[in-house]
């Protein structure tokens, strides 16, 4: 029976490989020339009785809170209260990984939302050199025990996760790698360590699982009391998890709380960008292929629509967002407001040519519009002239490569350059 299952699994995977391989080549390639689309509304212009924003103070005190409230009430919902986590355990589980260049620290946190508590594990891979080290916090879509290539990681009981996380099946692992790139599950840890960066892996699905059924059930169990910006939703709660891990990092001796960089791909690109936008303690964000409800504009009508995303992933959003299905033009904001809330802190938006679904051109136009806020706050305006114009020195950087949705060496090369310029020790 087991053998039959194995053979069937293998055959399914082979067919999937063939289909994805063929369809990948057939995916449309986005135009890489300049885009003239202008994001609306202008983030600093007179709006709803407010005057033109001309000073950083005015942005910080009036307009930024206005956009923040708008995004939360219309897209992401209320963010749970910032209750500091309890550190249940914090121990080095291996002093000597990656050929002695790093150690592995396992931290178990207890997070609180209202009457409820949740276990959240984080595994930090930390260089065996003197710190404190800048730290990249990466949100994963599978539990750490199933993806990190190290022994001794405790698997939390009762955590739900997608079927494809079972890397016990080598075959499924190769399928994921083939389809979504070499670094879809784990980044190039050796390269990060050698540049002095620590990496913290966390699976926010430990708090709100990423599935309609279990995610909705978890959300409805915590949706109680007054929720200022509407019902909690998964993306906002995952962002809140990153904030609670930030609380932990502030207590750590070996991690540098002034150099916390969030990293997320796709759905985690959305939650990482939101987490950075909402919390100034986050020094930088790499938000890769974040698309709809991430960095990409909605009003340009390209890529995944609000109607599609709210049907496929209703648990990601507060219910108001679905009201804009088929009427994105009625949004009183667009996603450049989210990008601008990162200003003037470094932000890298990653994209690729055959990923129309996440709308690289919409992210580019979004960054360009947010650039005026970066400039107002003393950062650089967005200077890229076309999608290929990557500048590792830019505060607001746009990175682009050939290929499809996923994480490849062609992504990590520019990520690494940008990280080194903005957060490296050398």
The site for ligand GTR (CB under 6 A) is made up of: 266-267, 291-292, 304, 309
85 in the Ramachandran plot: left (φ > 0), alpha (ψ -120 to 50) or beta?
beta
State which H helix or E strand residue 138 sits in. strand 133-139
Nearer to ligand GTR, 134 or 291 (CB): 291
Q: Write the CB contacts of 265 (distance below 8 Å, at least 6 apart in sequence).
A: 184, 288, 289, 350, 406, 407
Q: In the complex, what is the shortest distance from the CB of residue 343 to ligand GTR, in angstroms, rounded to a whole number? A: 24
Least distance from ligand GTR to the Cβ atom of residue 276, Å:
17
Distance CA 247, CA 292 (A): 28
- Kindly state the smallest distance separating residue 141's Cβ from ligand GTR, in Å: 7
CA 35, CA 368: separation in Å to the nearest integer? 10
Neighbours of 198 (CB within 10 A): 27
Q: Residue 158 — left, alpha, or beta (φ > 0 → left; ψ -120 to 50 → alpha)?
A: left
The residues facing 290 across adjacent strands are: none
Q: For ligand GTR, give the closer residue by CB, 259 or 401.
A: 401
| Residue 325 to residue 321: CA distance in whole angstroms | 8
Residue nearest to ligand GTR (CB): 266
Cβ–Cβ < 8 Å for 357, 340: no
Q: Tokens representing 53?
A: 């924003």
174: three-class secondary structure by DSSP: helix
Closest to ligand GTR by CB, 266 or 417: 266
Least spacing, CB of residue 267 vs ligand GTR, in Å: 3
Q: Find the DSSP H helices in 50-196.
A: 56-58, 64-71, 144-147, 170-180, 189-194
Which residue lies nearer to ligand GTR by CB, 357 or 374? Answer: 357
**Which residue matches tokens 């930090």?**
124
What is the three-class DSSP state of 216? helix
Tell me how far, at minimum, the Cβ of 273 lies from ligand GTR, in Å: 12
What the block records as the tokens of 173 is 């692992």
DSSP state of 98: T
The radius of gyration of the chain from alpha carbons, rounded to an integer in Å, stands at: 21
Q: Which is nearer to ligand GTR, 52 or 312 (CB)?
A: 312
Nearer to ligand GTR (CB atom), residue 321 or residue 374: 321
Taking the complex as a whole, the smallest distance from the CB of residue 246 to ligand GTR amounts, in Å, to 22
* Closer to ligand GTR by Cβ: residue 259 or 270: 270
Quote the least distance from Cβ 100 to ligand GTR, whole Å. 35
**Residue 60 — φ and ψ, nearest 5°?**
-65, -40
Nearer to ligand GTR, 160 or 375 (CB): 160
Nearer to ligand GTR, 283 or 309 (CB): 309
How far apart CA 202 and CA 138 sit, in angstroms, is 6
Q: What is the DSSP string of 283-333?
A: -EEEEES--TTTTS-STT--SS-HHHHHHH-GGGS-GGGGGGTT-GGG-SS
CB of 289 to ligand GTR, least distance (A): 7
Nearer to ligand GTR by Cβ, of 127 and 269: the residue is: 269
Nearest approach, Cβ of 294 to ligand GTR (angstroms)?
8
Beta carbon of residue 421, minimum distance to ligand GTR (angstroms, whole number): 28
Please say which residue, 127 or 291, places its beta carbon nearer to ligand GTR: 291
Least distance between ligand GTR and beta carbon 296 (Å): 9
Distance CA 124, CA 105 (A): 5
| Cβ atoms of 335 and 366 closer than 8 Å | yes
How many Cβ atoms from other residues are within 10 Å of residue 70's Cβ?
A: 17
């Amino acid at each position: 029976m087991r053998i039959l299952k194995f053979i069937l699994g293998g055959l399914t995977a082979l067919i999937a490989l063939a289909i994805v391989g063929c369809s990948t080549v057939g995916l449309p390639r986005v135009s890489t020339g300049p885009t003239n689309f202008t994001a609306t509304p202008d983030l600093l212009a007179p709006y709803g009785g407010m005057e033109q924003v001309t000073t950083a103070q005015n942005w910080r005190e009036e307009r930024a809170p206005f956009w923040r409230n708008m995004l939360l009430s219309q897209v992401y919902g209320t963010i749970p209260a910032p209750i500091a986590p309890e550190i249940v355990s914090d121990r080095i589980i291996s002093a000597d990984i990656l050929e002695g260049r790093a150690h592995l620290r396992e931290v178990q946190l207890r997070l609180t939302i209202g009457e409820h508590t949740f276990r959240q594990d984080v595994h930090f891979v930390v260089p065996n050199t003197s710190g404190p080290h800048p730290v990249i916090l990466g949100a994963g879509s599978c539990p750490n025990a199933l993806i990190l290539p190290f022994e001794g990681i405790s698997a939390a009981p009762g955590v739900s996760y997608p079927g494809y996380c079972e890397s016990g099946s080598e075959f499924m692992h190769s399928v994921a790698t083939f389809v979504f790139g070499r670094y879809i599950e784990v980044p190039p840890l050796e390269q990060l360590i050698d540049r002095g960066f620590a990496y913290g892996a966390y699976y926010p699905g430990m708090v709100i699982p990423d599935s309609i059924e279990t995610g909705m059930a978890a959300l409805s169990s915590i949706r109680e009391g007054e929720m200022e910006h509407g019902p909690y939703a998964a993306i906002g709660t995952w962002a809140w998890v990153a904030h609670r891990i930030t609380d932990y990092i502030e207590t750590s001796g070996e991690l540098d709380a002034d150099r916390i960089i969030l990293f997320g791909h796709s759905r985690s690109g959305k939650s990482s960008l939101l987490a950075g936008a909402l919390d100034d303690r986050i020094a930088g964000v790499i938000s890769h292929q974040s698309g709809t409800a991430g960095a990409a504009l909605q009003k340009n009508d390209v890529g995944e629509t609000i109607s599609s995303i709210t049907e496929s992933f209703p648990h990601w959003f507060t219910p108001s967002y679905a009201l804009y299905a088929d009427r994105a033009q009625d949004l009183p904001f667009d996603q450049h407001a989210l990008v601008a809330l990162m200003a003037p802190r470094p932000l890298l938006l990653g994209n690729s040519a055959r990923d129309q679904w996440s709308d690289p051109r919409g992210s580019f136009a979004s960054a360009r519009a947010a650039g005026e806020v970066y400039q107002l706050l003393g950062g650089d305006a967005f200077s890229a002239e076309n999608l290929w114009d990557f500048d590792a020195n830019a505060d607001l950087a746009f990175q682009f490569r050939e290929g499809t949705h996923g994480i490849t060496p062609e992504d990590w090369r520019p990520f690494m350059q940008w990280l080194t310029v903005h957060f490296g020790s050398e």
